[in-house]
Each structure stands twice: as C-alpha cells, then as structure tokens.
Structure 1
C-alpha cells in the first residue's frame, strides 16, 4: 500500500515528503530485473514462442477490444473531478479508494478461484474492469477530466507501467514524465496493443495459473488480485503525484 506521511504536515512540508516518495518509487520502477525476475521472464518468453501466432493475434484483438470498450465506456464516468483540494487530501482519498478496490478484487479472485478453471478464466475480464474503474476514480480524485482523450491515454500508460517487465518500464515512465507539457495522439491507432497485451499477460500469467488449481485456487486468487490491485493503485498515485509536483 502507498506509504502514509508520519506527521500532520503543512502543504509545503507534505509536498516535500511526497516528492521523496515519488523519487523512491521512480528508483524502484527503474530498478533492473533481478535473477528471479529474469528467470520468470525467460520462462514466459519460451511459453510465448510455443504459442501459435494466430493465438497471439486473437488474444491481442480480445484485450484491445475489451480495453477500448472499458476506456470509452460511459458507465465508468465518475462525476466531476475534485477541484481545489490540497495534495494531502487527494492522497488520503486515493488511499481509501485503493483499499476499497483492493478488497473487492480479493473477494472476486477468491470466489472465481474456488470455482475451478472456467471461473478462474472469467476472472480475467472482471479484474481488468475493476482495475480500469479504479484508475478512473483516481483520475477524478486528482482533479483530471476523464472525458478528455489525453486523460484516458494517460490511464492506459499508467496501467502499462504497473504491469510491464523491467525492460519496458523505463520507456513507459519516461512517456509519463512532463505529460502536461507535451502534445499527445488523438486516437488509439498509434498505441502498441500487441506489446501492451503481451507485457500484461507476461506479468500476471504465472501468478494467475495457480488460481486454476484445485484447493489452493481460492486463497491464491484472493492474494494475487489483492497485490495486483495494490500495485496499480501505488503506480497511479505516484504518477498523479508526479504530475502535481511537476
């Protein structure tokens, strides 16, 4: 869970503390992959090479269609963005939102994990929907208008940053830096959906496979969903802090 400040701070002191948190998060994000991460990545790449190209194309199309539908869906609007709040209050509300979504994701993962293979498969789109909804809520908390295409593109990059391998995270993080000072595409056509879906699958597949096993599927599903949602929340919080402090 994102860290909480150890004191009741003035706005200036809180900004200084938050800047330190962003710096620590940025250093962790850019940290090279360790031996375990490299081994898991190598295994996943061997699995990917064994999967026929037609399957990769189908999965890419499904994830692209699902993600586009979620991102453009009117049912995810969260009302007016929160205006005029200090960063300290925004962070407090963000933590509360992350806790709520984290609990919901854990419950959903436990239920589907207890139901065997097909229910575990159903967890994939359900969890993706929860994650995107969390991002929309956090965008409103930090005062950003999710009706604007550039904001939805920002959310897509935050999602990608949270669930990419070490070799990809630096590129995505640099794309998020100085976001408000740069022009952005006005359609999703330039977005690399193939890389997006493969990085996402590579990040979660090995953990989610255990969710399909008898007996242990329910607790594994709950823990994995909890941690994945927590990681997304921490990434989004720091990405929005980075924008606020720029």
Structure 2
C-alpha cells in the first residue's frame, strides 16, 4: 500500500474530527430555519417553482446521469505530474496527493461559481432562471470530480446516489446530517444487502430539493434586484460550492482511507 496503517489512522482521524466539528454550525442552522414558514409565504412563487423543477433533474441524474456526467479524462488536469489516466491509477495515489488534487479542483470550481453567480445576478429575476440550474450543474460536477479524484466512478448508479446524499448533507440541519452520515456509512459497508437497501431510498433526492428551497430561496430574493444581484449572486454561489467541496472532500477521503485500512487488515491476517 502507499501508506502505512499508522498514517492512514492519522488521516482518518482528520475526517472524523471534521464530522464532529459540524455540530458547531448546527445550532445556528436550527435558529436560521425558524422563519422559513413565514418566508415560504413571501418568497416569490417564481423561485419556488424554479427550484421545484430541480426535483426532476435530480431524479434523472440518479437514474441515468443525464447531462451532468463528468468524464474520467478530466483526471489529467488534477494529476498533471503523475501517470494517472484511469480510476485504477488513482487508487494507487497517496491520500495526501488526492487531497491536493481536490483542493485544486475546489478552487477552480469556486472561481467558476463566483463568476457564474455574478453574471446571472446582473439581470435580477430575468437571469435568475438561468442561475439555479447552472448552480446545480456546478455542484453535481464538482462532487463527481471529487469522487473520481478519490478513485470512485460516478457512472455507477450507486455512486450517483452517494453524490446526491452528500449534496443533501450540506443542505440539512442537525437531525438530517446525523441521519445522512449513518446512510453514508451503510453505503461504505461491505454488506451488499445493506447497500441495496440504501439504493432503494431514492426518495431522498426529494429532500434535497426542499432543503435547497429553504437554504437558498430567501437569499435568491435579493438576487432578484438588478445589479445588487451581481454581488449577492457571486457570494451565494461561491459559498454554496465551497461548503459542498469541503464536505465532499472529507466524506470521500474518509471512505477511501477506511477501504485502505480494511485492505491492510486483510493483508495482515494473511
């Protein structure tokens, strides 16, 4: 293996500590969600309807990948100094190098999201209809590329479910985050029966849409104001992609480390 068990344990501890640190944000998230019942009444129907259309797009993504699927060829841009051409090659890369590749990817996507949010925020409500699906596209492709940087194939349906669960994790409150972490742990399990049980929970992507409405709907109200929406759109989209990239990195690196530790244990037992 490319790392020793001791090194893998140290890296795993970082991901575990990150999961624990998320509790620092949960209290404020719960407070922030209190006025959402009122906001639902005043939020422009256009925004709610537009975000609602993402339900069908996420469903299509889970089933077929649709227009959102990334290509393995993009790995070359994240591993320029290595002979990484396939996902099999990635699995032989040290976790530290995987992290560096994802950091480079995250910075690129945050810049893209900033530019996209600013450009679609200039026209207020006229360009808001373009912004919401574009943001979803950036988010899904970011998670897919993160998955590939850690050696996982987003062409697999199981992997697309995992990606949507990560997207859901970022948008959820304390209860939701805890439940999703348990579901992701089951997906990580080697028990195939448990995996199939999670795959059957495709209803979960409906929750993603609802939490998206709560999390960004009221912020998008400000983006409806021409010119002002430029700054608001840039900040909102950059923040959304930044949070998503961090969660994707920590959850995928933990998954890869646990798999390598399991392989190490198998070698020791032999």
TM-score bin (small chain): 0.7 to 0.9
Structure 2 residue corresponding to 1:174, chosen from 182, 186, 195: 182
Separation in 1, partners of 2:51, 2:116: 24
User: 2:145 maps to which residue?
Assistant: 137
Partner of 1:105: 113
- Superposed CA offset, 1:69-118 (max 9, x none): 34512662322423311111111101111111110010000001112212
TM-score, normalised with respect to structure 1:
0.82
Matches within 5 A, 1:147-226: 147-181=155-189, 182-185=194-197, 190-226=202-238
Does the aligned pair in 1 maintain the 2:122–2:226 contact within 8 Å? yes
In terms of Rg, which structure is larger? 2
Moved more, 170-179 or 11-20: 11-20
Q: How far, CA to CA, are the matches of 2:205 and 2:103 in structure 1?
A: 30
Contact residue 116 and residue 212 of structure 1 kept, 8 A: yes
Q: Which moved more, 1:217-226 or 1:77-86?
A: 77-86
Contact 1:30 1:169 in 2 (8 A): no
Q: Please, which runs of 5 or more residues in structure 1 have no aligned partner?
A: 1-9
Matched, 1:28 2:21: yes
Task: Assess, with a 3 A threshold, how the Cα gap between structure 1 residues 18 and 66 changes in structure 2: closer, same or farther.
Answer: same
- Which residue in 1 is equivalent to 2:80? none
Structure 1 residue 195: deviation in Å? 2.3
Q: CA deviation at 1:242?
A: 1.6
What is residue 53 of structure 2 aligned with on the other side?
62
Q: Deviations over 1:31-87 (max 9, x none)?
A: 4733x5334311113333678xxx97x668622211233451266232242331111
- Which residue number in structure 1 is paired with residue 69 of structure 2? 76
Match of 2:79 in 1: none
Q: Contact (CA 8 Å) 1:32, 1:167: kept in 2 or not?
A: no
TM-aligned CA distance change 1:14 to 1:119, over 3 Å: farther
Number of aligned residues: 234
- Give me the TM-score of the superposition, normalised by structure 2: 0.76
Aligned equivalent of 1:5: none
Distance 2:230 2:108 in 1: 19
The SS at the match of 2:161 is: helix
Maintained 8 Å contact 1:165/1:203: no
Deviations 1:203-235 (A, max 9, x none): 222323222223321111111111110100000
